[in-house]
Amino acid sequence: MSAAALRPLHVPGDPLILPNAWDAGTARLVEQAGFPAVATTSSGVADALGYADGQQTPVEEMLAAVARIARAVAVPVSADMEAGYGLEPNELARRVAATGAVGLNLEDTDHANFPALVAPATQTARIAGIKAAAELVVNARVDVHLRGGATRAALVRATSYRDAGADCVYPIGVIDERTIARFVELGVPVNILLRPGAPSIERLAELGVARISLGHFLHAEMEEALRARLKSLPLRAIIPRGRRS
């Protein structure tokens, strides 16, 4: 599998829909349901491995999880690598490619100085470095709106990331249709998170969105269903009175 199999799936108006997986089993379910690609969710993977989200997972464990997912399916895999886990761009690109994944999410949150963002010039250079080091589809996440920033600043970042070679820009948290349209106007595929309050999939397609992620929401729904089922079970077997010794 190569990036050439993933990149053409990003079609404005006919978006790639990505129900994000967190292990090999859920990746297989996504593939079996007919979706043409699998994306991971960093928070779901972290939780499955016993860590918190926010780059708390050791990078070796995150990469190993991505490798298991890539081995489990025959469709392209895009890895959510958060902000890169402290790896230099060339090493990040090389190690992601080695897992069998053909794409990656890269966010611009500065986890060492949370909730600050990485300087735009630094993030732009990182994207360019990844693109130069390996043939990967880079989904450049723009975290401005998550931090309460202005759309204008987010658009400046998205434009810079596009010019650095990003294959897709991901203004996470944006749900306003006019704002989404402004990102689409940049002429680069746009990824939108299907979060509560966001336009429907059909409307996002009409707006020209090229990629729709479910992010951590499937994992959260699974956890809630499991939590409810566990709550419905007794904590121990109830022995009928007549059978007590």
Q: Which residues of 116-150 are buried (b: 16+ CB within 10 A; e: fewer)?
A: ebbebeebbebbbbbbebbebbbbbbbbbbbeeee
Residue-wise pLDDT tens digits, 13-34: 999 999 999 999 999 999 999 9
Residue 244 above 70 pLDDT? no
- Asked if 38 contacts 75 with a C-beta cutoff of 8 angstroms, the reply is yes
The sheet with strand 137-142 has its strands ordered as 38-39, 77-80, 103-107, 137-142, 168-171
Average pLDDT, the chain: 96
Residue 125 above 60 pLDDT? yes
Residue-wise pLDDT tens digits, 187-213: 999 999 999 999 999 999 999 999 999
Mean pLDDT of 175-183: 98
Residue 243 CB neighbours (<10 A): 6
Residue 242: what pLDDT?
64
Rounded-to-integer distance, Cα 157 and Cα 119, Å: 9
Mean pLDDT of 48-63: 97
Under the banding of pLDDT at 50, 70 and 90, the label for residue 245 is low
Mean pLDDT of 93-107: 98
Residue 241 above 90 pLDDT? no
- Asked if 108 contacts 117 with a C-beta cutoff of 8 angstroms, the reply is yes
Q: Which residues of 161-189 are buried (b: 16+ CB within 10 A; e: fewer)?
A: bbebebbbbbbbbbbeeebbebbbeeebb
Residue 217 above 90 pLDDT? yes
Q: Identify the structural domains of the chain with CATH numbers, from first to last.
A: 3-231 (3.20.20.60)
Rounded-to-integer distance, Cα 227 and Cα 163, Å: 45
Residue 67 above 70 pLDDT? yes
Return the SS3 of 39.
strand
Q: Which residue has the tokens 């987010």?
A: 154
Under the banding of pLDDT at 50, 70 and 90, the label for residue 164 is very high
Q: How far apart are the first and last CA of the chain?
A: 64
Percent share of the chain, pLDDT over 70: 98
Residue 133: what pLDDT?
98
pTM of the model: 0.93
Q: What share of the chain is helix, strand, coil (3-state, %, to 5)?
A: 45, 15, 40
Residue 163 above 80 pLDDT? yes
Residue 243 above 80 pLDDT? no
